[in-house]
Chain A
């Protein structure tokens, strides 16, 4: 009797695990099968035509890439410095350490749509508005949704990812390394930048990749801070060509095509391929982060 119950519990737990993995497989499989067929070089490099039912998604890919690049430039150095502070400088019982900890974990829990509101209220209205008044005599240049403010908003959103990942790696660098550097006369700054940080590049890499994969997939924060559904080419490359221009983005493209298309049947193949590209992008990033982290852990324990 006891054994039957035991087996039942294990079977139930196994079933739940299989259910999750199966759901993942179904989502991936469905999108891969239906999205693969229409993929072509042209699809990735051409602009859309004929009311989004033909052509490619190059402007959306381009916008996404520019977005995550600008975002990384802002989030990664900032995040690494905060991580250095938390792991190398802060006293664990200090007020600031605890406040930073709480701030970072809270930042991770704030809904992404609230980041969008923040981007609109802070970056566009306040910072952009002030820049316009100071530099452009009140003309609207930066006080409007643009790639710059969208990527800054996204940088704030992904900051905790970078901080947490980098701090974890910094902490995994053995204390002996620091002691050896200090013993040789290295200053704290030298120790951090020549000994500790070079040992933690994998963590910085992982953090960056995770942040990029998050930033590439999020849609809610950019809804009001700079994304546009359709923008024409002006010259060789699609927008944005200046920091105050709007941009197209893969996730938003999927959202609009899936919910607001007048002819869902006609756009469906193209839509599936767009989802496939978005998913492939975020998954490749995620998997490489997992692999780097795995190697890093193996390295840390040997």
Chain B
């Protein structure tokens, strides 16, 4: 914006606004008008008007982009609204959190308790995070601190390829191959269970945690490392005691983003978790997550019925949880930038 700040007296635009820029200055230049006179002037005016028009259009499109995020919430919440407002006879938001903790949407007396689904989501997510976090963090540390530069150039894109595998393919692999391995190794009763789903889900979470952590580690100023090395610390000591703590907000952001992804991921858990909507804390029993419930049941409900509203309400919950986590992650990340570079 630096070269556009000069206010132009001949411009009709408000000179204080940032979009009034240098272009119009040429109107006063003798060399321009001598040759083409009024034609150039009107041409210029047209161009300026076009410029203004384009700016407004681009501004409008950006405004539309922001409104989409609000629209998403509004339109998902709108379908759930009668339930939230208490206008649905069969169930209410309060009843969804009370006992009996049963999810039986298609029985004579339908029961819509979200508690089994919440517990199922937490169970699978927790396993995915417990499996994925150490692996992703250690790999990020290796890439950022220990790997030879030429190897580093290869590791990062390779791990990021993992993020490029469609989740339905990860789900397929876990369903056909991984589930049998885990069952054989651990001698499990059920082939499809929360643990297997968690391990499969960690494949989707690892690239996120890895990438964000690696970026945070690489962003730690060289001077930190050099100071530590100069004081006689080894490379590993520097990495673990200097670089890692300095990047900890970034790692926090990585974990919240990974958690958000794990909670919202649908296809993997839908295919691998066994989908038993029963309240159970056993990691080796089946589980059903909120996202998988929406995916599995929305296709068969009556439009506008109570089951339909309940599923949209689950969508509202998912939206709030993931957006909240995203916001927290963003906050933490901005905090890191402030800490390292003075201001964000």
Interface string of A147-166 (1 = CB under 8 A from B): 00000000010010001000
Assess whether B33 is interfacial by the CB under 8 Å rule. Answer: no
Contact residue among B18, B66, B167 (Cβ-Cβ distance under 8 Å from A91): B18
CB within 8 A of B166: which of A16, A218, A271?
A: A218
Q: In the bound complex, how far is the Cα of B267 from the Cα of A99, in angstroms?
A: 31
- Contact of A105 (CB < 8 Å), options: B173, B236, B312, B330: B330
Contacting pair A109 B267 (CB below 8 A): no
From A23, A163, A186, A251, contact of B168 by CB (8 A): A251
Q: Which of A13, A89, A190, A283 contacts B142 (CB 8 A)?
A: A13
Picked from B71, B177, B206, the residue with its CB within 8 Å of the CB of A30 is B177
- Given A109-B325, A283-B164, verify A10-B142 contact (CB < 8 Å): yes
Q: Is the CB of A6 within 8 A of B235?
A: yes
Contact assessment for A27 and B170 in the assembled complex, using a CB-CB cutoff below 8 Å: yes
In the complex, residue of chain B having the shortest beta-carbon distance to the beta carbon of A160: B65
Partner of B72, one of A114, A255, A259: A114
Contacts of B4 in A (CB 8 A): 182, 188
B161–A286 touching, CB < 8 Å: yes
- B11-34, CB < 8 A from A: 18-19, 21-23, 26
Q: For A105, what are the chain B residues with a Cβ–Cβ distance below 8 Å? A: 326, 330
Please determine whether B165 and A290 come into contact, CB atoms closer than 8 angstroms: no
Chain B 252-279, CB-CB to A under 8 Å as 1, else 0, gives 0000010011011111001100000000
A111-B166 CB under 8 A given contacts A6-B235, A103-B66, A117-B294: no
In contact, A254 and B291 (Cβ under 8 angstroms): no
Query: What is the predominant secondary structure among interface residues of chain B facing chain A?
Result: helix
A211-255 vs B, CB cutoff 8 Å, 1 = contact: the mask equals 001001111100110000000000000000000000000011011
Indicate if the CB atoms of B58 and A84 lie closer than 8 Å. yes
Interface-side segment among A45-53, A55-63, A274-282: A274-282
Check A282–B135 contact: CB distance below 8 A.
no
Q: Is the CB of A20 within 8 A of B167?
A: no
Which among B73-81, B183-191, B221-229 touches the partner chain?
B73-81
Q: Is the CB of A82 within 8 A of B62?
A: yes
On whether the beta carbons of A118 and B75 are closer than 8 Å, the reply is yes
Residues of A contacting B161 in the complex (Cβ-Cβ under 8 angstroms): 24, 283, 286-287
Q: Looking at the complex, which one of B62, B176, B263 makes contact with A81 (CB distance below 8 Å)?
A: B62
Q: Which residues of B contact A223 (CB under 8 A)?
A: 295, 298-299
Q: Is B323's CB under 8 angstroms from A20's CB?
A: no
- Contact partners of B138 in chain A: CB under 8 A: 12-13, 15-17
Bound Cα distance A160, B192 (Å): 34
Chain B residues whose CB sits within 8 angstroms of the CB of A78 once the complex forms: 61, 64-65
What 0/1 readout, one digit per residue, does chain B (156-174) give for beta carbons within 8 Å of chain A? 0111111011111111110
Contact between chains at A254 and B159 (CB < 8 Å): no
**Closest chain A CB from B332 CB (angstroms):** 13
Query: Measured between alpha carbons, how far is A105 from B329 in the docked complex, in Å?
Result: 11
Say yes or no: A113 contacts B1, CB within 8 Å: no
In the complex, what residue of chain A is closest to B239 when comparing beta carbons?
Answer: A9
Task: Check B158–A118 contact: CB distance below 8 A.
Answer: no
Contact A254 B72, CB 8 Å, known A100-B62, A110-B322, A182-B21: no
Which of B43-51, B85-93, B102-110 is found at the contact surface with chain A?
A: B43-51
* A36 CB–B CB distance under 8 Å: no
The answer to whether B264 touches A217, judged by C-beta atoms less than 8 angstroms apart, is no
Pick from A20, A109, A118, A185: contact of B71, CB below 8 A.
A118
Give the residue of B61, B135, B164, B166 whose beta carbon is less than 8 angstroms from that of A20: B135
A48 to chain B, nearest CB (A): 17
Contacts of B173 in A (CB 8 A): 27, 30-31
When the two chains form their complex, are residues B48 and A187 in contact, meaning their CB atoms are under 8 A apart?
Answer: yes
B158 touches A24 (CB 8 A): yes
B168 and A188 form a contact (CB under 8 A): no
B59–A17 CB distance below 8 A? no
- Give the number of chain B interface residues (Cβ < 8 Å): 98
Inter-chain contact A122/B75, CB cutoff 8 Å = yes
Asked whether any CB of chain A lies closer than 8 Å to the CB of B280, the reply is no
B231 within 8 A of A: no
Q: Is the CB of B50 within 8 A of A17?
A: no
**Assembled-state Cα–Cα distance A279/B51 (Å):** 44
| Shortest Cβ gap from B296 to chain A (Å) | 9
Report yes or no: B267 in contact with A216, Cβ–Cβ below 8 A.
Answer: no
Q: Do residues B177 and A89 form an inter-chain contact, with CB atoms below 8 A?
A: no
> Is there an interface contact between B159 and A224, defined as CB atoms closer than 8 Å?
no
CA distance A24 to B139 in the complex (A): 14
Is B99 among interface residues, defined by CB-CB distance under 8 A?
Answer: no
Select which of A112, A156, A287 is within 8 A of B68 by beta carbon. A156
Q: Which of A14-36 contact B (CB under 8 A)?
A: 14-17, 19-21, 23-24, 27, 30-31
Chain B residues closer than 8 Å to A251, beta-carbon distance: 166, 168-169, 267
Contact status A182-B325, CB under 8 Å: no
A255 B171 Cβ-Cβ under 8 A:
yes
User: Which chain A residue shows the least CB distance to B237?
Assistant: A6
* B54 at the binding interface (Cβ < 8 Å): yes
- 12 A-B pairs whose Cβ atoms sit less than 8 Å apart in the complex: A13-B138, A20-B162, A24-B161, A27-B173, A81-B58, A111-B263, A111-B322, A113-B266, A115-B72, A189-B51, A275-B169, A279-B169
The list of the 9 closest CB pairs from A to B, nearest first, reads: A111-B264, A217-B166, A16-B138, A13-B142, A109-B326, A286-B164, A6-B236, A121-B75, A122-B75
Q: Enumerate chain A interface residues (CB-CB to B < 8 A).
A: 2-3, 5-6, 9-10, 12-17, 19-21, 23-24, 27, 30-31, 78, 81-82, 84-86, 89-91, 96, 99-100, 102-118, 120-122, 125-126, 156, 159, 163, 178-179, 182, 185-190, 213, 216-220, 223-224, 251-252, 254-255, 258-259, 268, 271, 275, 278-279, 282-283, 286-287, 290
Given A114-B315, A114-B322, list of 14 further CB < 8 A pairs?
Answer: A3-B234, A85-B61, A111-B291, A113-B264, A113-B266, A114-B264, A117-B76, A187-B51, A189-B54, A219-B166, A219-B267, A220-B167, A282-B165, A287-B161
